[in-house]
Amino acid sequence: MNSDFAESAPITTKNKVGRRVSKQSICLVCGEVARIINYGALCCQACKTFFRRNVSHGKQVCQYDGNCEITKFTRLGCTACRLKKCFACGMNPEFIRVTDQNTNHALVKRRNKKTNDDDNNGEKLKINLFPPKLQTLDLLENDRSALSHFEWTLLSNVIHAYDRFEASSKISTSTNYLVHLPVETLFHNTHTYNLFKTYYTTAQLFVASSADYKILTSAEQCSLLKRNLNGLFIFCAEVVCRDLKMLEHPVWFNTLTYSLGSGMVARKRYLNKKLEHDNTLIKLMLIVLAFSSNCCMLDERDGVFQDHLLIGTFRLFGSQNVFVEILWKYMLYRYGYRETVRRFSGLVKQTLDLISLVVNMYRSDRMHQYFLDEAIKLATSSVKIGENDSIPLWGKSSLDSIESTPMTFGYYCT
C-alpha cells in the first residue's frame, strides 16, 4: 500500500542495516508488489487468492469488451478479465491441489445443503481431480527453458512499463474518436498526426524507462532512437489499433484512409489481422527491437557515420540477448516447443512486414521525420525525461552477457 513502486528493485539487495531484504517485484496481473511465484506466475497475494477461488467458476463473461485494464486499482472492476489475465500471465490451475473450501462456488453449495448434513466430514478436503503434473514442475524447475526469478521480474517489469506508457496512447485514441463528431473536421490530418505523435511518445518513454537505455551516453541514446524508434512506433500503433478495434470504427477508418491512402490502410488492416495475439510477446518483442543494432534507420541525413557508437558495443548485445532469451523461455513455458517455433517465426515475419510498412509511411509523409526529430530533441534536452519518474529502472543491470547469437532486425534504407 505505502510502498508502491519504490521498492520494486528487481533483485535482492541489502538495506542500510545490512540485513538481507527479500526480493520484490510487481504482480504480472495487477502490478501490486509481488514476491514469489504463485500457481506458476509471479503475482501478488491478492491475485493468488483470487485465482484459487475463481478458477473453478463456470465461464464468467465480461460485461464490457473483454479488454478491461487490470491494475492494482482497477482489478475489482471485472472478474472475468482479471481471471483471463491471470491465465494470460501464466497462472495454471494445475498447481491448485485442493478445492478450496472458501471457493465462491463451494461456499454457495455448502449453504444450500445445510439442512441435512450426513456427510459432515466427507466434504473436508477434496483432492483436486487434476493433481499437479510433474511435467509442469519440471518445466519450471529443471528444464533449461525455465525462467529464473530474475527473468520473471524483468519480464513483469517490461510488461508494466509498456502498459503504463501505452495508457496515454489508448486514452488519446479513444478521446480523439469521441471528439470527432463534427463532420467538417473529419478529414483532416491533424487527428492522425496527434495520434502518431502519441505513439512515438509512448514508444520513446517505454524505452527510456529501461536501465539498459539510461546507462548509455546521450549520443548513444540518440543513435538508438534514430535506428529503432520507427519500428517501435509501428508496433505500438498496431497494438492500440487492434485493442481498440480502430479499423472497425468508420470514423477512424475514413480518417486514416484520408491520411494514408486506401492502399496503405488495406495493408495495415491485413497486417493487423495477422498480428500476434499474445500482447506479452509483442511487448517483449518491442524491447528486443529497442536494442536492435538497426531496426530501421531511415534517415539518410546522418546515417552510417555514427555506427561505431553502437556496432560492437557489448552492452547493447547483452541487453538484447537477455530479452530475447526471456521471450523464448516464456514462449516455451506458455506454448510448448512446437507452438513456440511457429509463433516465433510468425513474430519475425510480422516484424519485417511492419517495418516495411513504416518505411513506406515514413517516405510518404515528412511528418514522421518531424516526429523522430522531436523525439531526439526530447532525449537530448537538459531535463532528462523520466528522471523524476516513480517507475524505477527495470533493466537487466549487471547480469553477465549470455552467449547466444544476437539478433538484428536490420533494415537499411536503400
Partner DNA sequence: TCAAAGAACATGTTCTGAG
Partner DNA sequence: ACTCAGAACATGTTCTTTG
Site residues (vs DNA, CB under 7 A): 1, 20, 22-23, 35-40, 44-50, 52-54, 75-76, 79, 95-98, 100-102, 104, 107-108, 111, 125, 128, 149
Name the minimum Å distance from CB 156 to a second copy.
26
Q: Percentage helix, strand, coil, to 5, in the chain?
A: 55, 5, 40
- Opening angle at CA 109, ends 104 and 112, nearest 5: 130
Name the minimum Å distance from CB 127 to DNA.
9
| Spatial CA neighbour of 369 closest among 165, 193, 191 | 193
244 binds Zn ion (CB under 5 A): no
Name the minimum Å distance from CB 165 to a second copy.
23
Candidates 117, 138, 302, 373; binder of a second copy (CB under 8 A) is: 117
Q: Residue 140: exposed, middle, or buried by beta-carbon count in 10 A (0-12, 13-18, 19+)?
A: middle
User: φ, ψ for residue 350 (rounded to 5)?
Assistant: -60, -40
Candidates 114, 277, 301, 366; binder of a second copy (CB under 8 A) is: 114
Choose the contact partner of 79 out of Zn ion, a second copy, DNA, none; CB within 5 to 8 A by kind. Answer: DNA
Classify each residue of 88-102 as buried b or exposed e, where b means 16 or more C-beta atoms within 10 Å of its C-beta.
bbbbbbebbeebbee
CB nearer to Zn ion: pick between 78 and 195: 78
390 binds a second copy (CB under 8 A): no
CB nearer to a second copy: pick between 15 and 115: 115
Using CB under 5 A, which residues numbered 10 to 29 contact Zn ion?
27, 29
Other CB atoms within a 10 A radius of the CB of residue 10 amount to 24
CB nearer to DNA: pick between 78 and 159: 78
CB nearer to Zn ion: pick between 69 and 123: 69
Task: Give the chain's length.
Answer: 414
Q: Is 15:21 a contact under the CB 8 Å cutoff?
A: yes
C-alpha pair distances (Å), 381 with each of 64, 108, 222, 229, 234: 42, 60, 11, 17, 24
- Residue 37: its H or E element: strand 37-38
- Which window, 21-29, 109-117, 224-232, 404-412, contacts a second copy (CB under 8 A)? 109-117
Choose the contact partner of 121 out of DNA, Zn ion, a second copy, none; CB within 5 to 8 A by kind. Answer: a second copy
Choose the contact partner of 81 out of Zn ion, DNA, a second copy, none; CB within 5 to 8 A by kind. Answer: Zn ion
Choose the contact partner of 29 out of DNA, a second copy, Zn ion, none; CB within 5 to 8 A by kind. Answer: Zn ion
Q: Which residues bind a second copy (CB under 8 A)?
A: 114-115, 117, 120-121
